Amino acid sequence: MSNIVLIGAGQTGRGYLNRFFKDEKVTFLDIDSELIERLQQEKKYNIFFGKQRETLTLDNFKAYTVDSKQGLDALAQADLVMISVGQKNLDSLVPLIQKALAIRQKGDVDILTAENGVHTKNYLIPLCQDKRVHLAEAIVFCTTLKQENSLDVFSEDLDYLPYDVVSLGHQLPYKHTVAEKNLSSLMQRKIYTYNCLSAVVTYLGYYKGYEEYAKAANDPEITMCTDNILQKLNACICKEYEIDVDEQAKFSQMAVAKFQNKAIVDTIERNARDVDRKLGENERILAPLCILKKYGKQSDELLLVAACAVYYGQKTSTLLKSFEKYFEILPKEWFTQIVDYLKKLDNQMTIIEVLSV
Ligand SMILES: NC(=O)c1ccc[n+]([C@@H]2O[C@H](COP(=O)([O-])OP(=O)(O)OC[C@H]3O[C@@H](n4cnc5c(N)ncnc54)[C@H](O)[C@@H]3O)[C@@H](O)[C@H]2O)c1
Ligand SMILES: O=P(O)(O)OC[C@@H](O)[C@@H](O)[C@H](O)[C@H](O)CO
């Protein structure tokens, strides 16, 4: 049995990662003391409980707050640490893990991030000063959703955990973990396809007043936008990542089907969180725009998504800088178009009207 430490006992940590380690000794560490107390008291929780898959009860864990003595000891004893706390929280974990390494009396330890983001392991690079550390990234395709006032987590029926075997330096022994030789390319393709589509549904959906994600994903104006974006973007992604056309079409279709699936009761709010991060240069809106530009294409619909993301950020006061700063890497005329769209959004024009004028 391995000692597994999962940092982040949220939707992904609890509802996704733990399924791969159900026969191992798992310790959850989280900053949320109420969540930890509840995990300690209830000692188990369920995942799935949809029609698609039988409920899985997980009771294989201990749980401690991330700054506790027990947490530090668990980290010092870990064979594998998986981290899913949100990209923006990664660097805050460096001192804690370094402290655990300082008291560690064992050999090598694998540390994997399981976050949405390109090059997320870079936030943890200082850990590699300790030669026992093998640092790599894993990709989370599975949607997991917390349930009101419960430890249970709804999950898609998907057991697939690709990880960067090259950075890690060896294969993981756990079932359904998949050694990926070109993880960076797969991660980019995932963020620029799955999460790009998610941004289309989310920010256009927010503008149209939706709260339920699947309803927005089935809205005719929004599906028209996703279709038009994919038509151009898929071709450019195939060139950029040297991917077969059919493979990319299948990949994007899986994302569309998942997002339109009404059995997955996701929210616009969950998908819209951290708009400042999502407007980043390596993220789901700007990076696809830059890939389109590189291959001589342009997408009015994706520029509108950028405008809607700003609209969301302004309405929720969650932009962390003035909006023009986000778009400095785009051609001037594209930025002008975004500004023009924003004015039209402020005038409450429909998506069709905004795009047709
Ligand atoms: N939920 C999904 O469907 C899904 C799918 C794919 C990828 N992801 C990615 O997984 C990551 C986690 O997302 P999530 O949905 O599980 O979020 P979440 O908010 O449900 O869980 C994150 C957990 O991390 C904890 N945390 C935050 N900072 C911490 C710290 N410094 N130390 C310890 N714990 C800390 C929070 O208290 C929370 O319990 C994100 O990068 C997200 O993009 C999520
Ligand atoms: O988790 P975020 O905030 O990076 O993005 C929200 C959604 O796009 C994301 O969670 C997807 O649902 C997930 O990546 C599955 O494809």
Q: Give the CA angle between residues 126, 127, 132 to the nearest 5°.
A: 140
* Domain end position, chosen among 159, 181, 203: 181
Same domain, 172 and 145: yes
Give the chain's radius of gyration (CA, Å): 21
Same domain, 301 and 216: yes
- CATH number for the domain spanning 29: value is 3.40.50.720
Half-sphere exposure of 187 (CA within 13 A, CB side): 25
Question: For the segment 7-66, what is each residue's pLDDT rounded down to a tens digit?
Answer: 999 999 999 999 999 999 999 999 999 999 999 999 999 999 777 789 999 999 999 999
Question: For the segment 108-142, what is each residue's pLDDT rounded down to a tens digit?
Answer: 999 999 999 999 999 999 999 999 999 999 999 99
Q: Where does the chain have alpha helices with state H? A: 11-15, 33-42, 69-77, 94-103, 165-168, 183-207, 213-217, 220-241, 245-260, 268-272, 275-278, 286-294, 300-316, 332-346, 351-356
Is 209 exposed, middle or buried, given 0-12, 13-18 or 19+ CB atoms closer than 10 A?
Answer: exposed
Domain count, the chain: 2
Question: For the segment 320-333, what is each residue's pLDDT rounded down to a tens digit?
Answer: 999 999 999 999 99
Q: Dihedral through CA 186, CA 200, CA 285, CA 230, nearest 10?
A: 60
Q: Report the separation in Å between the CA atom of 13 and the middle of ligand 1, taken as the mean of its atom positions.
A: 7
Name the 3-class secondary structure at 271: helix
Same domain, 238 and 249: yes
What is the pLDDT, as a whole number, of residue 129?
A: 98
**pTM listed for this prediction:** 0.97
Question: For the segment 159-199, what is each residue's pLDDT rounded down to a tens digit?
Answer: 999 999 999 999 999 999 999 999 999 999 999 999 999 99
Same domain, 15 and 133: yes
Domain of 281 in residue numbering reads as 184-356
Same domain, 128 and 56: yes
Q: Report the separation in Å between the CA atom of 198 and the middle of ligand 2, taken as the mean of its atom positions.
A: 7
- Give the span between the Cα atoms of 292 and 295, in whole angstroms: 5
- CATH number for the domain spanning 327: value is 1.10.1040.10
Same domain, 169 and 289: no
Return the ligand number nearest the Cα of 67.
1
Same domain, 144 and 128: yes
Same domain, 136 and 152: yes
* Domain end position, chosen among 181, 197, 213: 181
Amino acid identity at 242: E
Residue 343 neighbours by CB distance under 10 Å = 11
What is the pLDDT, as a whole number, of residue 215?
A: 98
Amino acid identity at 53: R
- Kindly list the protein residues whose Cβ atom lies closer than 6 A to any atom of ligand 1: 7-13, 29-32, 35, 66, 84-87, 89, 92-93, 115-116, 140, 143-144, 146
Same domain, 69 and 112: yes
- Give the span between the Cα atoms of 187 and 266, in whole angstroms: 22
ipTM rounded to 2 decimals: 0.99
Same domain, 237 and 339: yes
Same domain, 97 and 124: yes
